[in-house]
Amino acid sequence: MNSEFDIINRYFSRPVRNALLGPGDDAALITCTPGMDWAVSVDTLVSGRHFFLDIEPSTLGHKVLAVNLSDMAAMGATPRWITLSLTLTETLAQDDAWLKAFSSGFFALADQYQIELIGGDTTSGPLNIGVQIIGEVEQGKALRRSDAKPGDDIWVSGFLGDAALALQFLQQRITLTEQEATPCLIALYTPTPRVVLGKALVNVAHSAIDISDGLLADLGHILERSDVAATVDFDRIPCSPALKNKLQQENATRQLAIDCLLSGGDDYELCFTAPENRHDVIAQLAQQTGVKLSRIGKIVPGKGLAVLNANDNPLIFNNKGYDHFLTR
């Protein structure tokens, strides 16, 4: 029978090297590197809302950390430390195979970025997972949502919409071949946080955000905070062959694909704005990081966001992104 402290000691206790004090006391102790600012973020993933109950535990361990790393990437920060709050059902608390797989997936990604688990909490209840992440960025250099300028180009990394398309596939609202489904399911279950890219964008981009709730919603946050408007060319938004195929279909399938691309969420790619004279630098960053970077639009004076088709006519859309309290 696993107690709370058995779970912590067996699966989540590791020595720390970069913190003054790690797990085992009432609080951890850390010191900020001179000349750096702290970047702090927290995410909660709720079973049945953010992930299916039958998800592979190692995959879940990866994703709960990846979504937090994506926040660090959007700020241009280097992730350093994490805390983990784990609410487990009584069944999972006694499932050693599940706990071992979850912690293995979690720590595999943490080790990739040399991040230390410095504390947290374990309790009983419906499965919920909260991760707080702490990173560092050079003082005054953090990428923010509030610094987009008229004339900036709008860029995004990777492909958008694949995670949302995978969800539609799992919910049997759309059909995909095995070849189409595989990369979409990878995007949904094990997203790649763009930490290296985010750090490289410091001193290059004016503003940035990670795309977690959909392009329309998240770019909209930049526009609101920066008090500017934007135009986006729909045909320039990068998407995978699977999603492109669905965009070429008719009626309901095409509309669903449009919603995945613009509003689906769970992409964990970066959307950023940068001056026109940074094109060559951004092209070099794409080569250096191995991440596809696509210029999709323009920041302009005013308010609002217009998505234009090939004829420069604005598209009409009802779904503007994910909202925890409005989306069902």
Q: Please, are residues 200 and 293 in contact by the beta-carbon 8 Å criterion?
A: no
In the 8-state DSSP scheme, what is residue 10? I
Give the chain's radius of gyration (CA, Å): 20
Cβ contacts of 96 within 8 Å, gap of 6 or more: 2, 10
54 is in an annotated binding site: no
213 is in an annotated binding site: yes
323 is in an annotated binding site: no
What is the Cα 122 distance to its own chain's centre? 24
Helices (H), the chain: 4-7, 57-75, 90-93, 96-112, 162-170, 178-189, 195-201, 215-226, 241-247, 251-263, 279-289
Q: Helix, strand or coil for residue 97?
A: helix
Please measure the distance between the N-terminal and C-terminal CA atoms of the chain and give it in whole angstroms. 38
- One DSSP character per residue, 265-277 reads ----EEEEEE-GG
* Count of C-beta atoms within a 10 Å radius of residue 92: 18
147 is in an annotated binding site: no
- CA 121, 125, 126, 127 torsion-angle sign: positive
71 is in an annotated binding site: yes
206 is in an annotated binding site: no
266 is in an annotated binding site: yes
218 is in an annotated binding site: no
267 is in an annotated binding site: no
| Known binding positions | 26, 41, 43, 50, 71, 120-121, 145, 210, 212-213, 266, 322
- Residue numbering of the annotated binding site for Mg(2+): 26, 41, 43, 71, 121, 210, 213
Annotated binding site for ATP: 120-121, 145, 212
User: Which residues define the annotated binding site for substrate?
Assistant: 50, 266, 322
